[in-house]
């Protein structure tokens, strides 16, 4: 694990000499186009970075894009691996830790999710305020040391959340806020599971993000996360659920996501995230 991180860091530093990103971004299903807005310093396929995931599903490019957005040096992970691909919750461990060691103080996560709220239709954006780890596994299984007992209160940084709200207001966008529940997947949920999730307090459902939040907090990074609502969850509408629909809806929302993220990143750059 450490060897993989060291090798990946050496490759990144060789291809982007002196570049120090302050913000890491993970781009979820259908949201990779945000990386097109980055003025690139280097673009590195995950295949060149030991321990980085090999995304196995459509809509995930599998590249690390290093460059500037709105003046802020950022490192964008275009594509992620999921727990359901290999039954391992730690597939993003090397990638997240490498970003932390490169200098990213914050990790900004995005995903495509299903809505549990009738007032939050497909196309909506939801700031994640908290999560429920319904998959019941941790990317920190097997870790040693007291740091593994990560405090998950305010895992989603409240000050960064305020700045997201400000960015949405400036862009004239509606930004919902709620609790994300992580189901292991890859199958979608049953209607009974979604009713149960709603009773547990969930507002959106998805198959990613939570392990990365845990890894980032363990690595000492602040976290902000955004769900792009791409469907009503199982049993809430007559529309059939499919990955293809997830991708289409995410692509349709990509422009509004980019607008919101760019506003957030520009503000982050002026403050270096530290005043947050």
Is residue 206 within the footprint of ligand HPA (CB under 6 A)? yes
Question: What distance in Å separates the CA atoms of residue 157 and residue 128, rounded to the nearest whole number?
Answer: 10
Q: What's the closest the beta carbon of residue 87 comes to ligand HPA, in angstroms?
A: 17
Q: 227 with 126: CB under 8 angstroms? A: yes
Judged by CB, which is closer to ligand HPA: 205, or 254? 205
Q: Which is catalytic among the residues 46, 60, 224, 250?
A: 60
- Applying CB under 6 A, among 53, 62, 79, 114 the residue interacting with ligand HPA is 114
The DSSP call for residue 103 is T
Q: How far apart are CA 63 and CA 55, in angstroms?
A: 10
Instruction: Give the C-alpha distances (Å, rounded to integers) separating 198 from 140, 149, 208, 257.
Output: 27, 28, 18, 25
CB nearer ligand HPA, residue 35 or residue 233? 233
Q: Which residues contact 18 (CB under 8 A, 6 or more apart)?
A: none
- Counting every residue written for the chain, the total comes to 276
113 lies in the site for ligand HPA, by CB under 6 A:
yes
Binding to ligand HPA, residues 179-198 (CB under 6 A)? 183, 188-189
Binds ligand HPA by CB under 6 A, chosen from 12, 76, 233, 253: 233
> Residue 198 catalytic?
no
The footprint of ligand HPA on this chain (CB under 6 A) covers a number of residues equal to 14
Whether 176 sits among the annotated catalytic residues: the reply is: no
Query: Catalytic site residue 207?
Result: yes
CA distance 191 to 237: 10
| C-beta closer to ligand HPA: residue 8 or 246 | 246
Q: Which position's Cβ is nearest ligand HPA? A: 114
What DSSP line would sit under 5-39, residue for residue? HHHHHHHHHHHSTT---SEEEEE-TT-GGGGGGSE
3 catalytically annotated: no
User: Which tokens sit at 22?
Assistant: 């302050």
- Single out the catalytic residue among 8, 16, 29, 75: 29
Is 112 a known active-site residue? yes
Site for ligand HPA, rule CB under 6 A: 112-114, 183, 188-189, 205-207, 230-231, 233, 241, 246
**Residues with a known catalytic role:** 29, 60, 82, 84-85, 112, 207-208, 231, 243
């Amino acid at each position: 694990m450490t060897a993989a991180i060291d090798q990946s860091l050496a490759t990144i530093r060789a291809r982007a000499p002196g570049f120090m990103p302050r913000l890491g971004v993970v781009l979820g299903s259908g949201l990779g186009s945000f990386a097109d807005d980055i003025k690139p310093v280097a673009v590195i396929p995950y295949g060149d970075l030991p321990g980085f995931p090999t995304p196995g599903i459509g809509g995930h490019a599998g590249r690390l894009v290093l460059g500037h957005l709105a003046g802020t040096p950022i490192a964008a992970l275009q594509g992620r691996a999921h727990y359901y691909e290999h039954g391992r919750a730690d597939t993003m461990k090397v990638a997240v830790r490498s970003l932390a060691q490169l200098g990213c103080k914050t990790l900004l996560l995005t995903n495509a999710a299903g809505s549990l709220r009738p007032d939050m239709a497909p196309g909506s954006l939801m700031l994640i305020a908290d999560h429920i780890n319904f998959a019941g596994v941790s990317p920190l299984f097997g870790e040693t040391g007291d740091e593994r007992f990560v405090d998950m209160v305010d895992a989603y940084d409240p000050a960064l959340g305020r700045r997201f709200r400000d960015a949405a207001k400036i862009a004239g966008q509606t930004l919902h806020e709620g609790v994300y529940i992580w189901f292991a997947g890859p199958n979608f949920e049953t209607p009974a599971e979604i009713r149960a999730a709603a009773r547990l307090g969930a507002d959106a459902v998805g198959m990613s993000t939570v392990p990365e939040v845990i890894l980032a907090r363990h690595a000492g990074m602040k976290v902000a996360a955004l769900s792009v609502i791409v469907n009503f969850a199982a049993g809430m509408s007559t529309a059939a659920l499919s990955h293809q629909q997830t991708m289409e809806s995410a692509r349709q929302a990509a422009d509004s996501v980019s607008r919101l993220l760019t506003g957030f990143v520009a503000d982050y750059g002026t403050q270096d995230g530290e005043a947050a």
